[in-house]
Chain A
Amino acid sequence: MASTRPNQLFRNKSAKIAAIPMIVTALFVFVGGTIWTVVYSFTKSGLLPRLKWVGLDQYERLWATRKWLVSIENLAIYGLCMLVLVFVIGFILAALIDQKIRFEDTIRTVILYPYALSFVVTGLVWQWILNPDFGVQNVVRGWGWESFTFDPLYNADIAIYGVLIAGLWQGSGLVMVLMLAGLRGIDQDVWKASRVDGIPAWKAYIFIIIPMMRPVFVTTLVIVVTGIVKIYDLIVAQTGGGPGIATEVPAKYVYDMMFQANNLGQGFAASTMMLVTVALIVIPWAILEFGGSKRHD
């Protein structure tokens, strides 16, 4: 009844019940799972996890493995190129579409549809298009340019760029949409003012609009980077890591070690390294975004 103060634990009872899945997920899966993996990365786990401590052995072995080093190198190349190109392409596309064009919806639909597809589908299509015997190389040779060579997936030196093309094809639409949302979020009066001031459009973009879109850029950056670090399905479908180990990536290394090579310890160490990479990006971002905003209040 009203005259008795309800017990604190049972106040808001339904809300607490509703939040149980979230609490379990956050604590057990996200925090618990992460800690578990990090802890077991210091053990000599093989087929099964075992709490036999080996200190940093797994990490030393990891950094002495060629496949891992290649994976890291590939991720760096893929990541850097992807990051730069996806932003350049995404922003230019968004700026073009923002010119009050006709058929805006159609063009946006065409550019974004790859994002709706599975990485497996993307990988397989591009595997087919880049197939030297039937794909682009064959077609160009058929036009009379007999010496034309474009076989990224069969050339270990450039295979990762073949994956990059597929990655860009699938991912640039997302960046475009986010950038477009950012551009549309800018007060139209800014454009009017720059027109009255006689500032050319490209200058307005670089010196006024892009700085104003900083939050959108930062969030997009975080999304793109975390996506890059997770890249796995695309590689499996498009190249299977090959030719040889030319397109291996960390996520695939983890999977191979855990579920194919029965070397859990290596898998845990490698996934911990992935976690560190993401943390190095996400934590400064979080401090900038959320720590900074608190100081402004």
Chain B
Amino acid sequence: MKNSVEIKNLDLQFGAVKVLQNLNLEIGKGEFLVLLGSSGCGKSTLLNCIAGLLDVSGGQIHINDRNVTWAEPSERGIGMVFQSYALYPQMTVEGNLSFGLKNAKLPKSEIETRIKHASEVLQIEPLLKRKPAALSGGQRQRVAIGRALVRDVDVFLFDEPLSNLDAKLRADLRVEIKRLHHKLQNTMIYVTHDQIEAMTLADRIAIMRGGQIMQLGSPDEIYGRPVNKYVADFIGSPSMNFLDGQVKNGAFQVGDLTIPLDGYDFADSSGSAEGPATIGIRPEHVVTGELVENTPFQIEVEINLIEPTGSDTLVDCEVAGHHFRVRMDGQSKVSVGEKLRLGLAPSKASLFDAKTELRL
């Protein structure tokens, strides 16, 4: 498949501050790519560079095989949806949708056709004559998407489009965006700090930090095989448990515990990694109850704290002097001070070098 967006050796600096460093990224046609990271990681900056709203300091940006590095935003063949919706408050919904098309001097009939099509897709036909102030948050966001839709472009850019909405609406619109993507099959680049959005929407996720891409991969890969400790820690809620220790003779030693590593898929296939390391175990990968007997490593702990969330119950305890969390079924009956037997499967764990923090 031909690439839709290609970013080559992109640099961006404001004065002495390097915001993006030698960044390379290829996004396939029809792909849904999510840029994920905490605030200040450069994800929105990267999106603004793709949109042409920020001038890059070095490198190239290609969209649909055209070098658009210096092109105006409107000439790049992109549509953009903003966090604050950014609807023109004094124009009606129709005016908002048509503003860009009028600027492009499209014939009136064409403008009408496109607005009709977009408003059908997004089900905003009844709202066309209203002003943004008279719309709900969800409706505004739909109009904002419509504004990208009428541009009839191959690449959609989303800049945290759902973060101004409340939790329930966010979940609904998330589904809608996914449905829209299935229907339109165009390229979408989506910036968010919400990992649930990222996991549910993305074909591929790019985890960013400090202006660089830490890991680029499918949601499964990112969740199951994080390339470094940062990504491992960032993805997953509640976050991964980390135990600092040593890899020795095919086992992980922490304090007086020895966790066998049989079945762990080492990055270096010879499996000869030895030395100080950190093991990461997701709270949901710890088993309790009868299943414990089937796991290669078992341990008994005392429950320190219980956090019921309804669907799950999180149990806080201590393993080899490290704080450790376990996710149990919401129906589990446990109480503070009780003993609990835990079982771990090394195949689902992650090992990181203590120094480089890279996956072993």
The answer, yes or no, to whether B91 is at the interface (CB within 8 Å) is: no
A31 to chain B, nearest CB (A): 26
Q: Apart from A2-B68, A2-B70, A2-B71, what are 10 other A-B pairs with CB-CB below 8 Å?
A: A2-B66, A2-B67, A2-B69, A2-B72, A2-B75, A3-B67, A3-B70, A4-B70, A5-B70, A6-B70
Within 8 A of A (CB), among B65-100: 66-72, 75
A3 to B69, CA, bound (A): 8
| Distance in angstroms between the alpha carbons of A2 and B67 in the assembled complex | 8
Interface residues of B, count at CB 8 A: 8
Q: Describe B's contact surface by its main secondary structure.
A: loop
| Distance of B15 from chain A, by nearest CB (Å) | 13
Number of interface residues of A (CB under 8 A): 5
Point out the residues of chain B lying under 8 angstroms from A5, CB to CB. Answer: 70
> Closest approach, in angstroms, between the C-beta of A199 and any C-beta of chain B?
39
Q: List 12 A-B contacts (CB under 8 A).
A: A2-B66, A2-B67, A2-B68, A2-B69, A2-B71, A2-B72, A2-B75, A3-B67, A3-B70, A4-B70, A5-B70, A6-B70
Distance (whole angstroms) from the CB of B358 to the closest CB of chain A: 35
List the B side residues contacting A6 at CB < 8 Å. Answer: 70
Residues of A within 8 A of B67 (CB): 2-3
B257 to chain A, nearest CB (A): 47
Who on chain B is nearest to A2 by CB? B71
| Residue among B66, B68, B70, B71 facing the most chain A CB atoms (10 A cut-off) | B70
Q: Within residues 1 to 31 of chain A, which ones have a CB less than 8 A from any CB in chain B?
A: 2-6
* Min CB gap B247→A, angstroms: 44
- Which residues of the other chain, B, contact A4 by a CB distance below 8 angstroms? 70
A10 to chain B minimum Cβ distance, whole angstroms, is 13
**Could you tell me the distance between the alpha carbons of A151 and B43 in the complex, rounded to whole angstroms?**
73
A2 CB contacts on chain B under 8 angstroms: 66-72, 75
**Distance to closest chain A CB from B73 (angstroms):** 11
**Distance in angstroms between the alpha carbons of A162 and B253 in the assembled complex:** 90
Chain A nearest CB from B162 CB (Å) reads 31
Q: How far, in whole Å, are A161 and B69 apart by their CA atoms in the complex?
A: 68
